[in-house]
């Protein structure tokens, strides 16, 4: 199942250069999403490739691997600085983990050092919170901020795919919750006793989701990001 997109024929990304961190993960799908929206998609692997970008996407993948490779390629510190300087960034799944200021359960290297993040979002995330690969699931979400896609029937829900996704356990001041998942909608609800889990947040020009809109044909999350870059959302 996919959601109707408002991107064609609007081409809201026309004239923008949007980078996708291309160290590991499903960066190609995000590049395709940007190009479908009319933006110029740019693969980013080195610090110089951050120059001239209007925004950046951090894709799903392995957050620990992306962390290590970003340091090996000399990207981590320049990217952290760009985020502090106000570069709009969208992170999906692993990207959400890498935008978080705090990880509840960080992986550790052989020396016992915890994995690092780029930071920027005043949130605490839990890695692989919804379970392993076999516990991946799909569900429809009420997602705030998509009024631009409204029809006579209202705003259609976002069909979300969760693959070893994180969730947000704490949000700080200035962080807006855009979507949550009820325990009954997850693949193993018995393990999710209590309240709904936060799976999408926004703070200023930083956006993060636990799920992968790039794999379902759902274009509106990317369009929201583009509108954030333009100051229209």
Set 29, 49, 93, 222: catalytic member: 93
Helix axes 27-36, 220-230, angle to 10 degrees: 70
Query: Do 26 and 212 form a contact (C-beta atoms < 8 A)?
Result: yes
What does residue 117 show for φ and ψ, rounded to 5 degrees? Answer: -130, 170
Q: List the catalytic residue out of 29, 212, 218, 222.
A: 212
Is 93 noted as a catalytic residue in this protein? yes
Picking from 136, 158, 206, the residue whose alpha carbon sits closest to that of residue 1 is 158
Q: What secondary structure does DSSP assign to 135-151, as a single string?
A: G-EEEEE--TT-GGG-B
Q: Which residues pair with 124 in a beta bridge?
A: 102, 170
Separation between Cα atoms, residue 20 and residue 27, nearest integer Å = 6
Verify whether residue 212 is a known catalytic residue: yes
* Cα Rg of the chain, angstroms: 17
Catalytic, 188? Answer no
Helices (H), 37-178: 63-72, 76-84, 94-99
Crossing angle, helix 63-72 and helix 76-84, to 10 degrees?
100
Q: Which of 29, 30, 49, 214 is catalytic?
A: 214
Catalytic residues: 93, 212, 214
């Amino acid at each position: 199942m996919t959601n109707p997109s408002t991107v064609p024929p609007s081409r809201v990304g026309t004239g923008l250069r949007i980078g996708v961190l291309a160290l590991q993960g499903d960066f190609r799908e995000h590049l395709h999403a940007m190009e479908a929206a009319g933006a110029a998609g740019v693969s980013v692997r080195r610090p110089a490739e951050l120059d001239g970008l209007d925004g950046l996407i951090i894709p799903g993948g392995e957050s620990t691997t992306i962390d290590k490779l970003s340091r090996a390629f000399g990207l981590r510190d320049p990217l952290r600085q760009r985020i502090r300087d106000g570069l709009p960034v969208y992170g999906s799944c692993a990207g959400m983990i890498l935008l978080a200021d705090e990880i509840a359960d960080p992986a550790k290297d052989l020396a016992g050092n915890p994995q690092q993040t780029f930071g920027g979002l005043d949130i605490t995330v839990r890695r692989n919170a919804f379970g392993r690969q076999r516990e991946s699931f799909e569900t429809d979400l009420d997602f705030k901020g998509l009024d631009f896609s409204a029809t006579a029937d209202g705003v259609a829900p976002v069909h979300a795919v969760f693959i070893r996704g994180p969730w947000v356990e704490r949000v700080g001041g200035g962080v807006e919750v855009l979507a949550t998942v009820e325990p009954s909608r997850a693949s193993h609800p018995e393990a999710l006793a209590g309240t709904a889990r936060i799976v999408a947040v926004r703070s200023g020009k930083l956006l993060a989701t636990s799920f992968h809109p790039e794999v379902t044909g759902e274009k509106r999350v990317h369009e929201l990001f583009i509108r954030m870059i333009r100051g229209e959302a």
